[in-house]
Chain A
Amino acid sequence: MSAQEMKRKARFLQPLSEIRELDHKVLIRLEMPGVSKEDLNIQVENDRLRVFAGRQDKQMNGTYLLRERNRGDYEKVFTIDETIDRDSIEAVMKNGILDISLEYKKEVQPRKIEIKGT
């Protein structure tokens, strides 16, 4: 990673993630409290899946008595390989959680072969 790339990365918050595989689908879950559907930007570029979310509630007026929450824009980049069907990517945002589902291409999914016989 170049110095410039590291500097750029430091500006963003990495949302907590969970990656699972279920029924031949890859499910990515990202926790992004404070982000609405409209703030989200998900892009697929070649083998990179980029999730970006600009946040509206970064700084509040007033004196902070307690400050634990992270603030800042979220960014997370995943690398996806050629077994993923680009057209199948779906995303759902609810209650500050983004669920992305990626399907494998038909040709890499396991096929059940029928055994013929008498």
Chain B
Amino acid sequence: MELTKWRNNDLLDPMGEFERLQDEINRLFDWTYPSNRGLFDRSLSPAVDVIEREDEILLQCDLPGVDRDDLDLSISRNVITIKGEKKGEQEQSEDKKTYRKETWSGAFQRTISLPETVDPEKIEANMKNGVLTVKLAKREEVKPRQISVKVK
């Protein structure tokens, strides 16, 4: 057996870890109750990540076991609503015993206000491995543009 030195890649970038922590703490102070919760959202609702990139907004939502057909996605201006139903096991058997249940099932709804810069016309949704990924392009006028200046 050959021994190779174990190297933790995170150690190469210790400041990156601090920056992430700082980000996290900053976000904690920015958090206000109504901003990411709609009126009809239940306390049991899927977790959502919203990531802003240079020319797009990315939304990711954990929806394990949810079928694409049971999902309803709608957007009006910059407010996006994810609606659907998570179906649990519906077995009817006398022999059934449940020992542990941490999972939940039922209807859910999530309404999220996205930055004003999104273009509601350019939206692309994809479901894979129980994760919903929605890509929203930013409006052309807010995209960073590079203007090259010719030097004479």
Contact = CB atoms under 8 A, between A and B. Distances in A.
Contacts of B23: 63-64
B50 A19 contact: no
A68 B27 CA distance: 11
Contact of A63 (B36, B51, B130): B51
Contact of A34 (B65, B91, B96, B131): B131
Given A95-B64, A97-B65, A16 B102 contact: yes
The SS class assigned to the B binding surface is: mixed
Contact of B60 (A16, A20, A69): A69
Contacts of B130: 31-35, 95-97
Given A21-B97, A31-B65, A57 B50 contact: no
B102 A95 contact: no
A99 to B, nearest CB: 10
Contacts of B102: 16-18
Interface in A67-100: 67-70, 94-97
Contacts of B61: 69
Given A18-B102, A34-B129, A64-B50, A95 B62 contact: no
Contact of A19 (B36, B52, B54, B100): B100
